[in-house]
Amino acid sequence: MRPSPLLAAAVCAIALALALGPAPARSQQVPSDGAEVTPEFIASTQHWLDDAVSKAQSANPAPLRMEVAIGALDARLRLAPCTNVEPYVPVGARLWGRTRLGLRCTQGGGRWNVFLPVTVKAFGPAWVLRDNVVAGSVLTAADAVQAEADWAAEPSPVVVEAAQWVGQVASRSLVAGQPLRQSMVKAAQAFAAGTPVRVVAQGPGFEISSDAEAITPGVVGQPVRVRMENGRIANGIVVDLRTVRLPM
């Protein structure tokens, strides 16, 4: 299942804004004897993050309500005085969910570099389960209701459209109150290996069909191998419970 375009747009926009956005306008000084940066610097960094996320979201089609929370530095740290500390996004970091923000001293007695825990929440529409669901159960429209959920709470994207989960199978046991995510559902098996199927091939102005036997289990929308009546092995896409479409 492909990631939701809305979610992909949200992640890209926020990551880009935070990666390229300006550092806090005012330079903050870190005390020489403290295990923590000053409250003023934390407030400035919080403002920087909030502003970057807000700007990214204002240009984003996804209706997400963003929240950014800054954690605390390691209490064992002893940082040299610094007159200018720049926040930055570490290479490979994903500013989504629990992550970290880099802080580096660019002017001062010591050129140090530390990481500050950050949590980025993105609240948006989701499908939330009414009750517990057993692994392997086929989901119906009555199994979930629309509600707001944190898209960034887990790595797997939420499913935003009913068509993405109604009729799908629960890939594992699910708990009431969970927002449905792409990793939680999978397509139902249409037929087992050895099942007789009808193979169709279409072209401009024509359609041909013949009988075949499935060599591998078939899942709607997924590739499957079939054995034609003449013994030839072909690859096609499962259309429904008895039909496989061959590419032309």
- Give pLDDT tens digits for 107-118: 877 788 989 899
Structure confidence at residue 24 (pLDDT): 39
My answer on whether 57 and 81 are in the same domain is yes
Mark which of 150, 165, 186 sits at the end of a domain.
186
In sequence order, what are the residues at sequence separation of 6 or more whose Cβ sits closer than 8 angstroms to the Cβ of residue 12? none
Q: Are strands 113-129 and 82-88 parallel, antiparallel or unpaired?
A: unpaired
Residues 233, 221, single domain; the answer is yes
Residue 91 has pLDDT above 60, yes or no: yes
The tens digit of pLDDT for each residue in 28-53 reads 444 444 444 567 777 777 887 887 66
Same domain? For 180 and 146 the reply is yes
> Residues 75, 169: one domain?
no
Pairing assessment for the beta strands 243-245 and 196-203 based on DSSP bridges? parallel
Q: Count Cβ atoms below 10 Å from residue 48 Cβ, excluding itself.
A: 19
Residues 79, 178 within the same domain: no
pLDDT at 7: 38
Q: Of 146, 170, 186, which marks where a domain is finished?
A: 186
Cβ(150)–Cβ(177) below 8 Å: no
Q: What pLDDT does residue 56 have?
A: 63
Here the CATH number for the domain that contains residue 145 is 3.90.1210.10
144 alpha-carbon distance from chain centroid: 20
- β-strand pairing of 243-245 with 233-238: antiparallel
First to last CA, the chain: 24
Question: Is there a single domain that holds both residue 67 and residue 45?
Answer: yes
Tell me the average pLDDT across 46-63.
Answer: 70
Packing angle of the helix pair 5-20, 39-58 (nearest 10 deg) = 140
- CA 97 – CA 120 distance, rounded (Å): 5
Q: 51 with 143, same domain?
A: no
Q: How confident is the model at residue 181 (pLDDT cuts 50, 70, 90)?
A: very high
In the numeric block, which tokens belong to residue 121?
């929440």
Q: Are residue 82 and residue 21 in the same domain, yes or no?
A: yes
For residues 193 and 104, what is the distance between their CA atoms, to the nearest angstrom? 59
Lowest pLDDT segment from 43-52, 83-92, 94-103, 164-173: 43-52
Q: How far is CA 145 from the centre of its chain?
A: 20
Distances (CA, A) of 31 to 34, 63, 104, 138, 227: 5, 41, 14, 59, 74
Domain that holds residue 42: 5-121
Q: Are residues 226 and 128 in the same domain?
A: no
Q: Is the dihedral of CA 131, 136, 140, 145 positive or negative?
A: positive
Q: Which residues of 221-240 are buried (b: 16+ CB within 10 A; e: fewer)?
A: eeebbbbeeeeeebebbbbe
What's the total number of domains in the chain? Answer: 3
The model's pTM is 0.67
Whether residues 114 and 12 fall in one domain: yes
Query: How does pLDDT run across 130-157, given as a tens digit for each residue?
Result: 999 999 898 999 999 999 999 999 999 9
Q: What CATH number has the domain bearing residue 216?
A: 2.30.30.760
**Are residues 167 and 101 located together in one domain of the fold?**
no
For residue 77, what are its two tokens?
């740290």
CA distances from 113 to 26, 92, 102 (A): 19, 16, 7
Same domain, residue pair 51 and 95: yes
Domain end among 147, 167, 186: 186
pLDDT for the residue 58 = 65
